[in-house]
Protein backbone atom coordinates (compact mmCIF):
# COMPACT_ATOMS: atom_id res chain seq x y z
CA UNK A 1 0.00 0.00 0.00
CA UNK A 2 1.44 3.35 -1.05
CA UNK A 3 1.45 6.25 1.43
CA UNK A 4 1.84 9.87 0.27
CA UNK A 5 3.00 12.59 2.64
CA UNK A 6 3.57 15.67 0.47
CA UNK A 7 1.62 17.24 -2.42
CA UNK A 8 3.13 17.82 -5.84
CA UNK A 9 2.39 21.03 -7.78
CA UNK A 10 3.27 21.26 -11.48
CA UNK A 11 2.73 24.16 -13.87
CA UNK A 12 0.90 22.90 -16.97
CA UNK A 13 0.17 26.14 -18.78
CA UNK A 14 0.86 29.85 -18.65
CA UNK A 15 -0.52 32.47 -21.00
CA UNK A 16 1.13 34.47 -23.77
CA UNK A 17 0.89 38.25 -24.10
CA UNK A 18 0.58 39.73 -27.59
CA UNK A 19 1.42 43.43 -27.79
CA UNK A 20 -1.20 45.44 -29.71
CA UNK A 21 0.42 47.00 -32.77
CA UNK A 22 -1.49 50.27 -32.49
CA UNK A 23 -0.31 51.12 -28.95
CA UNK A 24 3.33 52.12 -28.49
CA UNK A 25 4.06 50.65 -25.09
CA UNK A 26 6.23 47.87 -23.70
CA UNK A 27 6.60 46.44 -20.22
CA UNK A 28 9.98 45.71 -18.67
CA UNK A 29 8.66 42.34 -17.46
CA UNK A 30 8.97 39.18 -19.52
CA UNK A 31 6.31 37.31 -17.53
CA UNK A 32 3.06 37.29 -19.59
CA UNK A 33 0.83 37.25 -16.53
CA UNK A 34 2.58 40.28 -15.10
CA UNK A 35 2.44 42.10 -18.42
CA UNK A 36 -1.26 41.52 -19.05
CA UNK A 37 -2.11 42.66 -15.53
CA UNK A 38 -0.04 45.80 -16.00
CA UNK A 39 -1.58 46.50 -19.42
CA UNK A 40 -5.11 46.05 -18.06
CA UNK A 41 -4.42 48.47 -15.24
CA UNK A 42 -2.83 51.04 -17.53
CA UNK A 43 -5.77 50.82 -19.91
CA UNK A 44 -8.14 51.79 -17.11
CA UNK A 45 -6.35 55.12 -16.71
CA UNK A 46 -4.61 55.40 -20.11
CA UNK A 47 -1.26 55.57 -18.37
CA UNK A 48 0.88 54.15 -21.18
CA UNK A 49 3.02 57.26 -21.57
CA UNK A 50 2.61 60.40 -23.65
CA UNK A 51 3.84 58.85 -26.93
CA UNK A 52 1.54 55.78 -26.87
CA UNK A 53 -0.30 56.93 -30.01
CA UNK A 54 -3.78 56.02 -28.79
CA UNK A 55 -6.62 56.23 -31.29
CA UNK A 56 -10.02 57.84 -30.87
CA UNK A 57 -8.83 61.17 -29.57
CA UNK A 58 -7.63 59.75 -26.26
CA UNK A 59 -4.43 61.06 -24.73
CA UNK A 60 -2.22 58.89 -22.60
CA UNK A 61 -0.62 60.20 -19.41
CA UNK A 62 2.72 59.44 -17.75
CA UNK A 63 2.76 56.56 -15.26
CA UNK A 64 5.02 54.36 -13.16
CA UNK A 65 7.80 53.06 -15.36
CA UNK A 66 8.42 49.54 -14.04
CA UNK A 67 6.15 46.53 -13.90
CA UNK A 68 7.23 45.82 -10.34
CA UNK A 69 6.30 49.33 -9.15
CA UNK A 70 3.05 49.31 -11.09
CA UNK A 71 1.82 45.98 -9.74
CA UNK A 72 2.99 46.84 -6.22
CA UNK A 73 0.64 49.82 -6.39
CA UNK A 74 -2.14 47.57 -7.74
CA UNK A 75 -1.73 45.29 -4.73
CA UNK A 76 -1.49 48.17 -2.30
CA UNK A 77 -4.65 49.88 -3.61
CA UNK A 78 -6.47 46.54 -3.94
CA UNK A 79 -7.31 47.03 -7.63
CA UNK A 80 -7.74 43.26 -7.82
CA UNK A 81 -9.77 43.08 -11.03
CA UNK A 82 -6.70 43.55 -13.23
CA UNK A 83 -5.16 40.42 -11.67
CA UNK A 84 -8.02 38.37 -13.07
CA UNK A 85 -6.43 38.59 -16.53
CA UNK A 86 -3.32 36.67 -15.44
CA UNK A 87 -3.92 32.91 -15.57
CA UNK A 88 -2.06 29.73 -14.64
CA UNK A 89 -3.01 26.06 -14.93
CA UNK A 90 -1.59 23.73 -12.29
CA UNK A 91 -1.57 19.96 -11.88
CA UNK A 92 -2.08 19.03 -8.22
CA UNK A 93 -1.15 15.49 -7.16
CA UNK A 94 -0.58 13.66 -3.90
CA UNK A 95 -3.64 15.24 -2.31
CA UNK A 96 -6.67 13.62 -0.72
CA UNK A 97 -10.33 13.58 -1.68
CA UNK A 98 -10.93 15.34 1.61
CA UNK A 99 -8.76 18.22 0.41
CA UNK A 100 -10.45 18.53 -2.97
CA UNK A 101 -13.85 18.67 -1.27
CA UNK A 102 -12.60 21.95 0.20
CA UNK A 103 -10.66 23.08 -2.86
CA UNK A 104 -13.60 23.00 -5.28
CA UNK A 105 -15.57 25.33 -3.03
CA UNK A 106 -13.36 28.09 -4.47
CA UNK A 107 -15.57 28.60 -7.51
CA UNK A 108 -14.84 32.22 -8.46
CA UNK A 109 -12.03 32.39 -11.00
CA UNK A 110 -11.27 28.66 -11.05
CA UNK A 111 -11.87 25.70 -13.35
CA UNK A 112 -11.43 22.08 -12.19
CA UNK A 113 -10.91 18.70 -13.88
CA UNK A 114 -10.49 15.85 -11.40
CA UNK A 115 -9.63 12.17 -11.69
CA UNK A 116 -12.83 10.11 -11.90
CA UNK A 117 -13.27 7.17 -9.54
CA UNK A 118 -16.09 5.95 -11.77
CA UNK A 119 -13.81 5.43 -14.78
CA UNK A 120 -10.47 4.69 -13.09
CA UNK A 121 -9.75 1.40 -11.34
CA UNK A 122 -8.57 2.28 -7.83
CA UNK A 123 -7.37 -1.21 -6.91
CA UNK A 124 -3.83 0.11 -6.38
CA UNK A 125 -4.73 3.54 -5.06
CA UNK A 126 -2.40 5.46 -2.74
CA UNK A 127 -3.48 7.09 0.51
CA UNK A 128 -2.51 10.53 1.79
CA UNK A 129 -1.29 10.47 5.36
CA UNK A 130 -3.06 13.15 7.43
CA UNK A 131 -0.37 15.57 8.71
CA UNK A 132 -1.73 15.33 12.26
CA UNK A 133 -1.06 11.57 12.36
CA UNK A 134 2.60 10.88 13.04
CA UNK A 135 4.32 7.70 11.90
CA UNK A 136 5.22 5.16 14.56
CA UNK A 137 2.26 6.03 16.77
CA UNK A 138 -0.82 4.05 17.75
CA UNK A 139 -2.90 6.56 15.78
CA UNK A 140 -0.86 5.80 12.66
CA UNK A 141 -1.35 2.06 13.13
CA UNK A 142 -5.12 2.53 13.38
CA UNK A 143 -5.18 4.75 10.30
CA UNK A 144 -2.94 2.45 8.24
CA UNK A 145 -5.03 -0.59 9.16
CA UNK A 146 -8.22 1.20 8.16
CA UNK A 147 -6.73 2.11 4.78
CA UNK A 148 -5.62 -1.46 4.15
CA UNK A 149 -9.07 -2.79 5.05
CA UNK A 150 -10.82 -0.27 2.81
CA UNK A 151 -8.55 -1.21 -0.10
CA UNK A 152 -9.24 -4.90 0.37
CA UNK A 153 -12.96 -4.16 0.62
CA UNK A 154 -12.78 -2.11 -2.59
CA UNK A 155 -11.10 -4.93 -4.47
CA UNK A 156 -13.56 -7.52 -3.19
CA UNK A 157 -16.57 -5.33 -3.86
CA UNK A 158 -15.28 -4.49 -7.34
CA UNK A 159 -14.97 -8.20 -8.18
CA UNK A 160 -18.44 -8.88 -6.81
CA UNK A 161 -20.01 -5.98 -8.70
CA UNK A 162 -18.21 -6.93 -11.92
CA UNK A 163 -19.76 -10.40 -11.70
CA UNK A 164 -23.14 -8.92 -10.81
CA UNK A 165 -23.15 -6.53 -13.78
CA UNK A 166 -22.07 -9.35 -16.09
CA UNK A 167 -22.49 -8.65 -19.81
CA UNK A 168 -25.28 -6.13 -19.41
CA UNK A 169 -24.46 -3.15 -21.65
CA UNK A 170 -21.30 -1.77 -23.31
CA UNK A 171 -17.95 -2.66 -21.73
CA UNK A 172 -17.18 0.91 -20.62
CA UNK A 173 -20.56 1.26 -18.94
CA UNK A 174 -20.18 -2.10 -17.21
CA UNK A 175 -16.84 -1.07 -15.72
CA UNK A 176 -18.25 2.29 -14.64
CA UNK A 177 -21.21 0.66 -12.89
CA UNK A 178 -18.93 -1.69 -10.96
CA UNK A 179 -16.40 1.01 -9.99
CA UNK A 180 -18.96 3.59 -8.96
CA UNK A 181 -20.39 1.07 -6.51
CA UNK A 182 -17.01 -0.12 -5.21
CA UNK A 183 -15.71 3.41 -4.59
CA UNK A 184 -18.25 3.78 -1.77
CA UNK A 185 -15.86 2.06 0.65
CA UNK A 186 -12.83 4.25 -0.11
CA UNK A 187 -11.95 6.83 2.57
CA UNK A 188 -11.51 10.59 2.28
CA UNK A 189 -7.74 10.15 2.40
CA UNK A 190 -7.74 8.34 -0.96
CA UNK A 191 -5.21 10.09 -3.21
CA UNK A 192 -6.52 12.04 -6.18
CA UNK A 193 -5.22 14.26 -8.97
CA UNK A 194 -6.78 17.46 -10.27
CA UNK A 195 -6.05 20.09 -12.93
CA UNK A 196 -6.88 23.58 -11.73
CA UNK A 197 -6.93 26.72 -13.88
CA UNK A 198 -7.21 29.98 -12.01
CA UNK A 199 -6.53 33.66 -12.42
CA UNK A 200 -4.04 35.44 -10.18
CA UNK A 201 -6.72 37.01 -8.01
CA UNK A 202 -8.33 33.61 -7.39
CA UNK A 203 -4.99 31.96 -6.62
CA UNK A 204 -4.13 34.74 -4.16
CA UNK A 205 -7.49 34.33 -2.42
CA UNK A 206 -7.02 30.56 -2.21
CA UNK A 207 -3.57 30.94 -0.65
CA UNK A 208 -4.74 33.60 1.78
CA UNK A 209 -7.72 31.56 2.95
CA UNK A 210 -6.23 28.08 2.93
CA UNK A 211 -2.76 29.17 3.97
CA UNK A 212 -4.02 30.61 7.24
CA UNK A 213 -3.28 29.06 10.63
CA UNK A 214 -6.96 28.13 11.03
CA UNK A 215 -7.07 26.10 7.79
CA UNK A 216 -6.88 22.30 7.61
CA UNK A 217 -3.20 21.33 7.78
CA UNK A 218 -3.19 19.34 4.53
CA UNK A 219 -4.71 22.10 2.42
CA UNK A 220 -2.48 24.65 4.17
CA UNK A 221 0.51 22.58 3.08
CA UNK A 222 -0.83 22.65 -0.47
CA UNK A 223 -1.35 26.43 -0.30
CA UNK A 224 2.29 26.96 0.66
CA UNK A 225 3.41 24.60 -2.13
CA UNK A 226 1.32 26.56 -4.65
CA UNK A 227 2.83 29.80 -3.37
CA UNK A 228 6.32 28.41 -3.91
CA UNK A 229 5.49 27.68 -7.54
CA UNK A 230 3.55 30.85 -8.36
CA UNK A 231 5.93 33.25 -6.61
CA UNK A 232 8.67 31.85 -8.86
CA UNK A 233 6.39 32.23 -11.89
CA UNK A 234 5.37 35.84 -11.21
CA UNK A 235 7.22 37.51 -8.32
CA UNK A 236 5.63 40.91 -9.05
CA UNK A 237 2.16 39.42 -8.46
CA UNK A 238 2.83 36.90 -5.70
CA UNK A 239 6.10 38.12 -4.20
CA UNK A 240 4.42 40.01 -1.36
CA UNK A 241 3.02 36.74 -0.01
CA UNK A 242 5.34 34.97 2.41
CA UNK A 243 5.59 31.58 4.09
CA UNK A 244 5.93 31.92 7.86
CA UNK A 245 6.91 29.00 10.15
CA UNK A 246 4.04 27.72 12.28
CA UNK A 247 4.24 26.18 15.75
CA UNK A 248 3.13 22.77 14.44
CA UNK A 249 6.17 22.52 12.15
CA UNK A 250 4.33 23.54 8.98
CA UNK A 251 4.06 27.02 7.47
CA UNK A 252 1.33 29.60 6.97
CA UNK A 253 0.86 32.18 4.22
CA UNK A 254 0.92 35.84 5.19
CA UNK A 255 0.48 38.93 3.03
CA UNK A 256 0.16 42.66 3.75
CA UNK A 257 -2.48 42.95 1.01
CA UNK A 258 -5.42 40.75 2.04
CA UNK A 259 -8.37 40.09 -0.26
CA UNK A 260 -6.90 41.73 -3.36
- The tens digit of pLDDT for each residue in 77-133 reads 988 999 999 999 999 999 999 999 999 999 999 999 999 999 999 999 999 999 999
Neighbours of 76 (CB within 10 A): 12
Q: What is the pLDDT of residue 65?
A: 78
* Model confidence band, residue 226 (pLDDT cutoffs 50, 70, 90): very high
Q: What is the pLDDT of residue 251?
A: 93
Asked whether the predicted pLDDT for residue 173 surpasses 80, the reply is yes
65-74, 121-130, 232-241, range with the lowest pLDDT: 65-74
Contact status, residue 7 vs residue 225, Cβ threshold 8 Å: yes
* Model confidence band, residue 167 (pLDDT cutoffs 50, 70, 90): confident
* Model confidence band, residue 260 (pLDDT cutoffs 50, 70, 90): low
Whether 210 is catalytic is yes
Say which residues have a Cβ less than 8 Å from residue 183's Cβ, sequence separation at least 6: 117, 118, 122, 154
Asked whether the predicted pLDDT for residue 180 surpasses 60, the reply is yes
Query: What is the DSSP secondary structure assignment for residue 129, as one 8-state letter?
Result: P
Q: What is the pLDDT of residue 60?
A: 58
Q: Which of these is catalytic: 97, 179, 183, 210? A: 210
Write the burial class of residue 77 (CB in 10 Å: 0-12 exposed, 13-18 middle, 19+ buried): exposed
Greater pLDDT, 77 or 198: 198
Q: What is the pLDDT of residue 118?
A: 93
* Percent of the chain's residues with pLDDT above 70: 94
Q: What is the mean pLDDT of residues 242-251?
A: 90
Q: What is the pLDDT of residue 64?
A: 64
**Mean pLDDT (the chain, rounded):** 93
Asked whether the predicted pLDDT for residue 59 surpasses 80, the reply is no
Greater pLDDT, 168 or 210: 210
Q: What is the pLDDT of residue 243?
A: 94
Q: Where are the beta strands (DSSP E) in the chain?
A: 3-4, 8-14, 87-96, 110-114, 127-128, 191-199, 242-245, 251-254
- The tens digit of pLDDT for each residue in 9-29 reads 999 999 999 999 888 889 999
Q: What is the pTM of this model?
A: 0.92
Asked whether the predicted pLDDT for residue 174 surpasses 60, the reply is yes
Amino acid sequence: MQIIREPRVTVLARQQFVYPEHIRWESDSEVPGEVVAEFAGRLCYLSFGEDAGLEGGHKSIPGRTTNDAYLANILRTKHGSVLEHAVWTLLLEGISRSLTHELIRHRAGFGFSQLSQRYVDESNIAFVQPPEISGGTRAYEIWESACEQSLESYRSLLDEMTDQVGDDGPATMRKKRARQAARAVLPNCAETKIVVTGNARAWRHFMEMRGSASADVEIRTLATAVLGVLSAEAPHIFGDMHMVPHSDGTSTVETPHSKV
